[in-house]
Every structure is written in structure tokens, then in C-alpha cells.
Amino acid sequence: MTPSPLDNDRLVWMYTQMVRIREFEERVKRTFEEHPGVIRGHTHLADGVEASIVGSVANMQPGDYVLTTYRCHGYPIALGTDTKAIMAEIYGRATGICKGLGGSMHLCDPSRGFLGTSGIVGQGIPHATGAAYAAQIRGEGQVVLCFFGDGASKQGAFHESLNIAALWKLPIVYVMENNGYNVETQTHQEDANAAAGEDLSVKAKAYSMPGVTIDGGDPVAVYETVGAAMERARRGEGPTLIESKVYRLSAHGNLIAPPGVPLHYPEHEAIAVFGDREQYEAALKGDPVPQFRGRLVNDGVMTNEQAEEILKAARDEMQEAVTFGVESPFPENDEALAYVYA
Amino acid sequence: MSHELPYIAAIDEAIRLEMERDETVIYFGQNMATTENAPFRQQFGNDRVRVTPISETAEIGMAVGAALAGYRPVVELYMAEFMLVAMDQVVNEGPRFRAMSGGQVKVPLVLKAGWGFTAGWAGQHTGTLTNMFMGIPGLKVVSPSTAADAKGLMASAIRDDNPVVYFHNYLLTLDHGEVPDGEYLVPLGVADVRREGSDVTIVANAHMLNQSLKAAETLAGEGIQAEVIDPRTYAPLDVDTILESVGKTGRLVLVDSAPRHSAASNVIAGEVVERGFDLLKAPIVQVTALDATVPYSEPLEAYVIPDADRVAAAVRGVLGTAPVGA
Amino acid sequence: MTADDARRLLRTMWRIRHFEERVGRLKRTDEVFGLIHLSVGQEGVAAATCLQLRDDDAVYSGHRAHGHALAKGALLPRVMAELMGRETGVCRGMGGSMHLVDVEHGFLGATGVVGGNIPMALGSALAARRLGGDTVAVVFFGDGAVQAGHFNETVNLAALWGLPLIMVCENNGFAEFTPRSAHTVVERVSDVVSPYGIVRETVDGNDVLAVWERFGAFLARARAGEGPFLLECLTVRLRGHYEGDPAAYREAIADEEWQKMDPILRLQRHALAQGWVDEDEPAAIEAEAAEEVEAAVAFGRESAFPPPELVAELVYAGSDA
Ligand SMILES: Cc1ncc(C[n+]2csc(CCOP(=O)(O)OP(=O)(O)O)c2C)c(N)n1
Ligand SMILES: Cc1ncc(C[n+]2csc(CCOP(=O)(O)OP(=O)(O)O)c2C)c(N)n1
Ligand SMILES: [Mg+2]
Ligand SMILES: [Mg+2]
């Protein structure tokens, strides 16, 4: 069984979400210049990964869960969380989705099935597996989407979780966003499979689990593959590992520095560390957002005017989010102790 | 002779000097030495300096094994919290082997772990974990507060024959200080009296030490002379230096950025009460973080973590010049 | 395998068998302390691997370590004394059954935390590579350790760096009281490493000849600079998980069936058929082993407990600086 076919409205919806994520991330990045000091700590952007995010979560049905890493702005945007609340969270404001207590790395919107993230590499994988266990015993056909990076697959938690999921046939789809980097380490420098020129989805063999590798820059391919895996999970046939090949267009994260040093986004590691401008430029050429736009316009699904409107609407929306965030109050002191215990 | 260096560079200098001095010192971790140009890799080669995957258990376990096999590994962990995914190796393997083998083996390794990045890094990257490791027999724990100590303690940690957790405070990363040239060792287990005073003893480390020294300046203006001590090493803990000071001042304020019930100050307070009860003229006061996960938002972060004002207020409290309160 | 090899193997296996059975009896009167895991039935793996190693090869084991330590050359009376908590023990009575270490014979250590030894062995393999000789690192672990994260972390790194590490998994089908089928859908441990292009093999661990031959081949390649390798030895733990475990979760193996499987008896039959040993030689080897074990018990009983000062002395290593 394949997921329901994408009609034109749905395709345009997908494009719209991709543009919204892109514009949001652009504004996060620009905040470092426009409003110095407003964003603290560490942010990780999903520009370049929009197709993979949107193609995946487009399959989610009410009741499904999603858990992600610290690179987490894109998912709630596609799920419909108010971008004002997300931006305000990144700005540490009381109006943020986590009331300013979580910040960029720890977004969470349980009302939309987004159960949260971990800032510790790989540790969200067992969380998602546990949610799938809950879904299985609840027996209402919920499925879990678990997102993590290529680097996380070298974390013991990956191995332990996938084994249990396969053993118990848990309703979960593991989506590994392989962006070729763990910070500034290229995948072949740290992964035996990558070093051997293999797809990372071969790791699924160790768990007798299906493993597939897809082009994460093609939202329709992502939609279909993730959708089929989710359907399989929903039927009780167990988990799938999907390697979604992507390229993040920004550096791993903003500059890491003690208080007082202005933060900004450095150049992508391909250039900054490896001096490989070609790699980066090739990725830019393959940028999934304009690619998908061209395809939809070509196929007559959307007009250029429509695309411009979508872009303009997204820009307006994100401008509003920034303004809302900057103008929002900080949380009161007693909030710091309000959530220590439930 | 000395030269000026940022805290973080002083650590690198110590590692470099020790690697030059001793072939068996090896250095590995994530996201270091990814290219030929990385300074350590350039100087020492890809065999002694390696980038690893995000596999802390394997990295630290491997350090234990390489140590058993005659090397002195330094593991670059960046953030102390990343040790938590490898607690078995840090707590229950490395420090246990010497004792359990009846002294046949030693496990000389250094876990280089940044901590306390209370600069908007939110709940999972800002912890003060000293207390979590200082009670593990066989494991040494150091935490430098100055560039010179950063160098001297790293060199000593590498030469020490035991597993050492080397905490470096992220907030001090770019703080400059005078660092002695060439070989420089700060012995483990020796506290440093950073400021002499007769009215009250303040014990603090790293960023909290700087806050305490700042408070001491303010208090001096009020005629209060605070003695400020930096433990520098938490295991083994130099209780004697603290007791000696309390013998002089009769009052003790312990400052710690950990939550109140997981602060190293609890242990210090216990030791002082047991061994120096008669010396105390007033109850000990602990100025700690609140018992809460560090919030992301700047004002709340500041609310949870102690600062100079809170230290000064606590001192006034123990001296009876203001009500006691952290 | 030569006649001489067979004799050494038989001797080693009988020594382990009698050691383990005697320890089982000592446990009933608490002359050995704490949790005791015996390797009765699995002697073939320890003997056929360790006897091919040298003192400068590092060996790591886990909670079921007596056989590996003895086969690697640890002195039997000192291992017995260790289990009895005496100062003459290999670890001066500080380690006990789950934490045997005998540096002199390259038995770098056993750890009681399942799989905790695997990344350590990786460290020894890294050290071996850096030292540049032909030494190797060998790690023994059970089928239960394979599902632990550190196993996978180690496999990736060993494969990535091509380290001279030989992983020997003794797959006895159970982790504590749980059959492998309740731990994973992947029946063969060697399949778990299949994505990593590691040279791997599954053998009948009770077939000493097969283990000897396969391990020997891996060892030769590891000495020549290849690696890593994984040898899965299918074996049987004849007793409970720990001494005192009534093992109600599984059917006991019928005696006549065991006679056919027993690695010691199998090798004895083979050696006799090959004419490697005389008719009465096996019995003599066994008797000698039994005597040695009895003498070790006496040695342990005569030995003193360690002095209390030792506890503080061992907290930190003195510095060489
Ligand atoms: C256990 C742990 N180790 C190290 C880190 C530091 N760290 C944060 S993100 C990251 C890279 C992760 O790479 P990958 O899984 O590929 O995800 P990506 O960031 O590329 O999306 C690292 C090493 C961490 N957060 N947690
Ligand atoms: C990390 C950890 N979890 C659980 C245990 C408890 N435990 C001791 S032995 C054992 C079973 C191990 O099974 P296996 O690896 O197959 O070895 P076997 O006992 O069969 O030789 C368990 C679960 C432990 N020691 N360490
Ligand atoms: Mg990545
Ligand atoms: Mg087993």
C-alpha cells in the first residue's frame, strides 16, 4: 500500500511549508545581525532540509507522534505550530511555545504530536521508540516519526533502540537525515559504511529491519517512502530505517562563544574547514526549495504568481514572528521553578 | 617568565607540551583534527590525534583500554554532559580497575569536559556536574579557574596515573591570564587561597570564583575582609586549607553553581562541620543555584544561577550585618 | 592441530571444568563470595582461543571470566585464592570472580558490566596498532552484550580504523534467564555486524577443532595487520546463569545428549581416534587437573585475607611524573 496520492492542493501545501521553513530559518539567521544579543546559546537551522521534513510529516495523521533532534524548527512549522510562538521561544520570551524555558534546541508542541527533542546526540531515538511502545499498547494505530542525524547513528542508543523496535515490531519510522556532516566531521571520517562507500541504510540489516535510502531533496519521493513505511508500521509490521540524503545549507550552528562575544552564522564547513567550495555550490544548485518550485510550475500545478504570493505571505508571516518575538516580555522569575515537578 | 593566554589556549598549550614530552600521550575526540591543518594533527600526526564518531561510550571505554595498554589518552568531550551517555565507563570501569586488580593496573587518562555554559545553552548543556563525579573513589576531578591553573592542572592531570575528569568552565574560555612559560605543573589536591581576609571564608570555583572575588571587592568597601579560596581540585579535596582559613575567620560561605542538593558545597560543608565545628562562629551558608533545570531565557537563567550580589548578601548574612539568606 | 596442541587443550579444559565445579561447591558454603558465574560447558572456546595467544596479546572478558583467565595463563591457585578473597589472589582479593585481572599474562581484565569490556578492548587494539608490533586484542562477551550500544559503537570504530581486534562472542542462547529470541530478532550475532564488512564467522563452539582452526586463521590475519574480526561460538552453558540459579526457565540437557556435545569429551574422542593420546592419557590429564584444583583450594584456605590498609592504598595510583 502506498500513501494517498498527492493532489495539486497538497503539493502546493507542501511547497508552502517548505517556503515557510526556509523563510523562518532565514529570519533566525538574520536576527543575529538585526537584533544582536536576542538569540543566545546555540541554534541549528534546517535550511536545505525542508523537503525531507515536509515530505515526512505530510504523512502524519492525528494522534501520530514526532520526536526530533536540536535541529528542530522545521517540524512544528510544517505541523502548524504558530511561528510567532516558535520565534518567541528562540528569543527566550514568555510567549514562546515552551514559555522561554527551552529555547531553539528544545521546542515541543504535544498538541500537534511533537513530543520534543533532545540536545544530546542520539538520545531522542530511545524516546521515540518508547513513544512507539506506548502507541503499540494503546492500540489506536498511532505511528511515530523519529528524526535524527547521520552522526547519531554512531551513538549506542541508536543500536539499542532499533534492535528493540524490530524485536517488538514497534510502529515507528526512523528517518536519518544524512547531511554528510557531524558538525565539521564528514561522514566518511567517522562511519565505517560511509568510508566503504555504502549507504547508511545498510545499518538496518543488523536488526533485520528494512532500510532504504532516498533523495531527501525530493519531497514527493520522501512523502511516498516515509508514507509507505508509516503505513507498514500502522499495519503492525514493524519499523523501517530511512536514510534521507540532504544537505544543510547553513553551518552546523551559530558561533559558539562566551557571553559578550557577538554571535553569527559562520560559513558552511565545506568551505570553512575543507575549502571545498564546489561541494557547497553544487548543493546550492540542488537547493530543494527552488527545485520544487520549478517542478510544480513546470507541471502546471502552480503558477509563478502563486509561488510569489506564497513567498510573500511567508515573508510577512516571519516578519510578524520576529516583531512579535522581540516585543514579547521575558518570563517572570517564578516560572523558573514552576515546572520542576509535575 | 610568563606570557598571556586565554584560558582555552592555556589548556591546549599544556596538552601540546605533554604530547611533546611523552610519546604515550594521545588525544582524540569528536570534531577535532578533521583536516590535515588541524594544529594538533599537524604536529603529532593522525595516529596520536584522531577524530572520533559521536560514540562517547566507545571513546571513553577506548581510553580506558588504551590506558591499560600503556598510553595516556586525553579525550576531548567538549561538553561535560556528553560524559553522561557513557557513565559506565567514566564511573564504573575506569576508576575501578586499579582497585579491583589489586593494584596491578593503572588507568591514566584525562576526560576534558567543558561545563557550565550558562549563556543561553538551556537545560542540557549548562550543568555543574562536579558533585556527580567527586565521590567516585579512584577518579580525580579538577576544575581550573585561571589560565595558569588551566595549564598547570592539565599537565598534572595528564601525568597523573589515574583517570581525571578535567572540567573547564565554558564561561572562562576567552578570559586572559598570565601563564608560566614551558613546563608548569599545578599539583592536584591543593586549593589556592586567591584572596586573604580575616572576616569570612568564601569557597568558590571558576565563574563562581570570579563572582566571589567581585563580591569580596564590594565587601571590602564595607569594611568586610573576605578570604576567597578556590579548591581547584575536587577529588582529592583539600579540606585542610579550607579548615585553616575557617580557623582564622570563623565563618564560611560556599558558592556553587550546581543545584542546591547536588552541589559540591554540600560535601565541603559536611567536612567542615565534622572537623571544624568548634571553629565556626556562625552557621555555614551555601549560595547555590536553585533546584531547577537551567532555563533558556536570559532573565530566568540569571535568576537560577548565583552571582556576586547574592554572594555579598550571603556574607553580610553570616556576619550578622544583614539577615541570612542565599 | 598437533597431538601436543590437543594435549594442552585437554589439560586446559579439564582444569577449567574442575575449577568451575569446585567453585560451585565452594559457593554453597560461601567460601567464595558474591555472585559467581561458571563456564561449565563453554571451556572449549576459552581453551581453543587463548592457548593460541601470547602474553603480550590483550584479553578482556566479562562476568563469566574464570575460564578465559585460566586459559590465558593466570595461575590456577591464584585465581582460586582471588575468588576466596585472599591476599594471594591475582588481584590480592580486591576483585573477585567478576573482576579478574592478570597483567603478567595479558589478561587485562574482566568487567561485571555487560559489554563494558568491549570498548576497552578497542583501546588495547588501538594501542597495539600504535605500538606497531603484531600483538592483537581479543574480547570475550556473551550474546547478551551484542544488543548494548557500546557493542555497535565499537564495531563501527574497529571497522573504520581497521584495528587488530578479535571479538569472540560466546552465544549460549541466554542472557541471564532470557532466551536470545526475547532480546532480538537477529538469531546470529555474526549477522549483527554484517553491515560493517567485518570478517566474521559462526562456529560450533563445542567443536574445539573448529574454534581452534577458525580463530587461528583470524589470529594470523590480525597479526599481519588485518582486522577486526568476529567469531561467534555457539555454545551451551550447562549450569544456571549464576550459582544458585535453579534455571527453571529452560529444559536441562539430557545427560546422553550432553555426552555427545561436551567439548572436552568430543576432543578426547577425536584425539584417541587420531592416535594423538593413549587410551588412559585423558583420565590421567583429568586426574591431574582435579588434584591441581584441590591443591588450589588448600592454598586459598591457607592464605591470609588482605590487610585493611590495602583498601586506601589502592584508591589512587602513585604518579610516575
Ligand atoms: C552525546 C553528544 N555528543 C556530542 C554532542 C555535540 N553535538 C551536537 S550536534 C552534533 C552533530 C550531530 O551530527 P548529526 O547527528 O549528523 O546531526 P546534524 O547536526 O548533522 O543534523 C554534535 C557532535 C551532543 N550534543 N551530544
Ligand atoms: C549493563 C548490565 N546490565 C545488566 C547486567 C546483569 N547481567 C549480568 S550477566 C547478564 C547476562 C549476560 O548475558 P550474556 O551476555 O549472553 O552472557 P552469559 O551470561 O550468557 O555468558 C546480565 C543481564 C549487567 N551486569 N550489566
Ligand atoms: Mg549530520
Ligand atoms: Mg548468553
Residues B319, B284: contact at Cβ < 8 Å? Answer: no
| pLDDT for C320 beyond 70 | no
Is residue C104 in some structural domain?
yes
- Taking CB atoms and an 8 Å limit, are C194 and A167 in contact across chains? no
pLDDT > 90: percent of chain C: 90
Q: Which chain A residues are Cβ-neighbours of B173 within 8 angstroms?
A: 257-258
Residues of B taking part in catalysis: 125
Mean pLDDT of C101-108: 97
Q: How would you write chain B as a 3-class SS string?
A: CEEEEEHHHHHHHHHHHHHHHCCCEEEEEECCCCCCCCHHHHHHHHHHEEEECCCHHHHHHHHHHHHHCCCEEEEEEEEHHHHHHHHHHHHHHHHHHHHHCCCCCCCCEEEEEEECCCCCCCCCCCCCCHHHHHCCCCCEEECCCCHHHHHHHHHHHHHCCCEEEEEEEHHHCCCEEEEECCCCCCCCCCCEEEECCCCEEEECCHHHHHHHHHHHHHHHHCCCCEEEEECCEEECCCHHHHHHHHHHHCCEEEEEEEEHHHCHHHHHHHHHHHHHHHHCCCCCEEEEECCCCCCCCHHHHHHHCCCHHHHHHHHHHHCCCCCCCC
Is the Cα dihedral C249, C252, C257, C263 positive or negative?
positive
Q: Is C279 helix (H, G, I), strand (E, B) or coil?
A: coil
Taking the C-alpha atoms of residue C21 and residue A271, their distance in angstroms, rounded to an integer, is 65
Using a 6 Å cutoff on CB, does residue C266 contact ligand 2?
Answer: no
Tell me whether residue C224 is in a domain: yes
Q: What pLDDT sits at residue B322?
A: 64
Does C314 fall in a domain?
A: no
pLDDT digits (tens, 9 = 90+) for C114-143: 999 999 999 999 999 999 999 999 999 999
Give a yes or no: residue C166 inside a domain: yes
Q: Is residue B187 situated within a structural domain?
A: no
Shared-domain flag, residues B145 and B57? yes
- Section A203-225 average pLDDT: 98
Q: Which CATH number do you get for residue B96?
A: 3.40.50.970
Span A48-67, mean pLDDT? 98
C135-192 tens-digit pLDDT: 999 999 999 999 999 999 999 999 999 999 999 999 999 988 889 888 999 989 999 9
User: In this predicted structure, what is the pLDDT of residue A105?
Assistant: 97
Provide the CATH number for the domain around residue C110.
3.40.50.970
The stretch A265-285 carries a mean pLDDT of 98
Closest Cα to residue A126, out of A134, A63, C42? A134
Question: Would you state the pLDDT for residue C200?
Answer: 97
* Residues of the domain holding C121: 3-304
Are the C-beta atoms of residues A60 and A79 closer than 8 Å to each other? yes
What's the pLDDT score for residue C250?
87
Of B51, B58, B124, the CB nearest to A185: B51
Tell how far the Cα of C305 is from the centroid of ligand 3, in angstroms.
55
Residues 6+ apart with CB under 8 A from C313: B103
Q: Is residue B326 part of a domain?
A: no
The answer on pLDDT for B114 being more than 70 is yes
Q: How far is the CA of C143 from the centre of ligand 2 (A)?
A: 9
B202 lies in a domain? yes
Euclidean distance between CA atoms A250 and A45, whole angstroms: 7
Report how far apart, in Å, the C-alpha atoms of C89 and of each of B93, C44, C46, C83 are: 20, 25, 21, 7
Indicate the number of domains in chain B.
2
Same domain, B108 and B144: yes
Residue C42 maps to a domain: yes
Choose the residue to mutate in C63, C140, C180, C235 for probing ligand 2, maximizing ligand atoms within 8 Å of C-beta.
C63
Establish if B77 belongs to a structural domain.
yes
Residue-wise pLDDT for A225-263, tens only, equals 999 999 999 999 999 999 999 999 999 999 999 999 999
pLDDT at residue B33, rounded to an integer: 87
Q: Is residue C98 part of a domain?
A: yes
Residue A273, pLDDT > 80, answer yes
Band of pLDDT at residue B144, cut at 50, 70 and 90: very high
Quick one: B226 and B147 in the same domain? no
Domains of chain A: 8-328 (3.40.50.970)
Average pLDDT over residues B54-83: 95
Average pLDDT estimate for A166-179: 97
A159 contact residues in C (CB cutoff 8 A): 147-149, 151-153
Atom 9 of ligand 2, nearest CA residue: C176
Q: Residue B146 in contact with residue B136, Cβ under 8 Å? A: no
Whether ipTM > 0.95 holds is: no
Q: How many domains does chain C have?
A: 1
**Is the CB of A38 inside 8 Å of chain B's CB atoms?**
no
Q: Tell which atom from ligand 2 comes closest to the C-alpha of C170.
A: 21
Q: Which chains touch B (3 or more CB pairs under 8 A)?
A: A, C
pLDDT tens column, B237-273: 999 999 999 999 999 999 999 999 999 999 999 999 9
- Rounded to an integer, the average pLDDT of A136-149 is 96
Q: Do C185 and A207 touch (CB under 8 A)?
A: yes
Mutation target among B37, B51, B172, B297 for the A interface, most CBs of A within 10 A: B297
Residue C249 has pLDDT above 90, yes or no: no
pLDDT, tens digit, for every residue of C200-215? 999 999 999 999 999 9
Number of H helices, E strands in chain A: 14, 8
User: Is residue C318 assigned to a domain?
Assistant: no
Task: Name the residue among C92, C102, C120 with its Cβ closest to that of B61.
Answer: C120
Average model confidence (pLDDT) for chain C?
Answer: 95
**B292 and B171, same domain (yes or no):** no
| Whether residues B204 and B149 fall in one domain | no
Q: Which domain holds residue B315?
A: 192-319
pLDDT value, residue C251: 85
Contact A156 C183 (CB under 8 A): no
- pLDDT at residue B291 in the model: 93
With beta carbons less than 8 A apart as the criterion, state whether B229 and B181 touch. Answer: no
For ligand 2, say whether the CB of C252 is within 6 Å of any of its atoms: no
Report residue C247's pLDDT band, with 50, 70 and 90 as the boundaries. Answer: confident
CATH code of the domain covering residue B299:
3.40.50.920
Residue C319 has pLDDT above 60, yes or no: no
**What pLDDT is recorded for position A2?**
62
Which residues of chain A have a CB within 8 Å of the CB of C191?
205-206, 208
Q: Report the distance separating Cα C51 and Cα C5, nearest Å.
A: 9
Residue C75 lies in a domain: yes
Pick from B53, B121, B290: CB nearest A337: B290
Is the pLDDT reported for residue B326 higher than 50?
no
At residue C321, the pLDDT reads 41
> What is the pLDDT at residue A1?
52
Give the pLDDT of residue B321. Answer: 77
Of B130, B154, B180, which residue constitutes the final position of a domain? Answer: B180
Q: Is residue B324 part of a domain?
A: no
Average pLDDT over residues C27-52: 96
Instruction: Enumerate chain B positions whose Cβ falls within 8 A of a Cβ in A.
Output: 30-31, 34-35, 51-58, 81-82, 84-85, 117, 119-125, 170-174, 290-293, 295-300, 303-304
- Tell me how far apart the alpha carbons of residues A132 and A146 are, in angstroms, rounded to a whole number: 10
